[in-house]
Amino acid sequence: MTKRDFSHLPYRRGVGIMLLNDRAEVFVAQRIDMPSSAWQMPQGGIDEGEDPAAAAWREMAEEIGTDKAELLAESRDWHRYDLPPDLVPRLWKGRYRGQEQRWFAFRFAGQDSDIDIETENPEFSAWRWSSLAELPTIIVPFKRPLYMQLVEEFKPVVSKLGSAKR
């Protein structure tokens, strides 16, 4: 069986959300539709004509049931990841090779009880708070390089948040 080449396909435009609590821990959740034990931060597509920041706020409310947050930072650039070849035909009707995302760091301004992953269209089966350093070790392997980039880029934001609470 030959390995299919999907390099001709475009990237799906999306956003990602690094939601931080007052202990500088990151919200992560397990996908409902994946049998893996991997965790991820919320993310989703950008609707036609939608501003990336508006998409991040919308996705936060849709995926975790709250938008009680304060925007802290936006990634300098778009970050990309490629799907493994076996997933390309199964996701997004095979139209994309992966995602190109703008990431946003938010400070969570609510209580844990404000988070409700049992939304109208649930995407997650469980959630928890994680350390920044742990993020790359708990994500699916194909997203690990992306998460390592995000950890480096947002480390100053997380450090500042953590030191402000001491």
4 within some domain: no
Structurally, how many domains does the chain consist of?
Answer: 1
CA distance 113 to 107: 16
6 within some domain: no
Structural domain including 111 reads 11-164
Higher pLDDT: 132 or 164? It is 132
Per-residue model confidence (pLDDT) at position 1: 42
34 within some domain: yes
pLDDT > 70? residue 166: no
pLDDT > 90? residue 97: yes
Q: Which residue has the tokens 């990336």?
A: 52
- Provide the CATH number for the domain around residue 158: 3.90.79.10
Percentage of the chain beyond pLDDT 70 is: 96
Using CA atoms of 91, 97, 100, 103 in order, give the dihedral in degrees to the nearest 10: 40
35 within some domain: yes
160 within some domain: yes
Q: Is 75 helix (H, G, I), strand (E, B) or coil?
A: coil
**Over the stretch 139-161, which tens digit does the pLDDT of each residue have?**
989 999 999 999 999 999 998 88
36 within some domain: yes
Per-residue model confidence (pLDDT) at position 164: 67
Identify any residues that bridge with 100 across adjacent strands, giving them in sequence order.
Answer: 13, 80
3 within some domain: no
Task: Extract the tokens encoding 36.
Answer: 């893996």
58 within some domain: yes
Model-level pTM? 0.92
